[in-house]
Amino acid sequence: MKNLYSKKLIKFSLWSAVFTALVGTLLHFAFKWTNGSLFAAPFAAVNESTFEHLKLIFWPFLITTIIGLFVFPDKKPSFIASAAVSVFSGMVSIIVLFYTYSGIIGRFYSAVNIIIFLVSVAFSYYLLYLFMKNKSFDFPFSGVLGSLIFILLIAVLISFTFLPPKIALFLDPLTKSYGLPI
């Protein structure tokens, strides 16, 4: 029984990682494809800032989390918390990896940024697998904690899309502007 659960978890994590990588890649271009639709703005990258690229991992991950609630119905609270911490960790890894390599060499490369995105997606789903396998968030109110993390991330992604702070994380390095293109 445990082996069957582990295989199911591996399969779910792998397919979810592929889904997130593909949908995240599409979200990179969705704002432009919709001619700058304000409806697409909270979900798609509106510029080339590091912050906007966090959406590319978050929204597809949220979709797979919702699907996971049906795939693992008896693990809902633990699954929500595991997924929330996993996606947050993936988002942080994008920031850390980007600023580490670009800070060291003094510039950035699109190919490296794509690799960072893919590595962060893989890292997120690997964490999800480990957290679920090891029952890391199998405690009372873990579902509430995970839900609060997701709600906070959604609020931050949406609000900072329209009202970005004037700090480097939100700066489009190509246009030297913040937030939505005018």
Residue 175 lies in a domain: no
Residue 105 lies in a domain: yes
Tens-digit pLDDT profile for residues 9-19: 999 999 999 99
Tens-digit pLDDT profile for residues 126-163: 999 999 999 999 998 999 999 999 999 999 999 999 99
Does the pLDDT of residue 87 top 90, yes or no? yes
Residue 181 lies in a domain: no
Residue 63 lies in a domain: yes
Pick left, alpha or beta for residue 135 (phi over 0 → left; psi -120 to 50 → alpha; otherwise beta): left
Q: What is the 3-state secondary structure (H, E, C) of 66-100?
A: HHHHHHCHHHHHHHHHHHHHHHHHHHHHHHHHHHH
pLDDT of residue 98: 95
Residue 26 lies in a domain: yes
pLDDT of residue 124: 98
Q: Is the pTM of this model over 0.85?
A: yes
Let me know: does 38 contact 171? Beta carbons within 8 Å. Answer: no
Q: Quote the domain boundaries for residue 108.
A: 2-170
Counted domains in the chain: 1
Q: In this structure, what token pair is assigned to residue 42?
A: 């909270």
Amino acid at 125: Y
Residue 167: count of CB within 10 angstroms of its CB: 9
Average pLDDT, the chain: 94
Residue 144 lies in a domain: yes
pLDDT band at 3 (very low <50, low <70, confident <90, very high): confident
Residue 179 lies in a domain: no
pLDDT of residue 174: 87
Residue 151 lies in a domain: yes
Give the whole-angstrom CA distance, residue 57 versus residue 53. Answer: 8
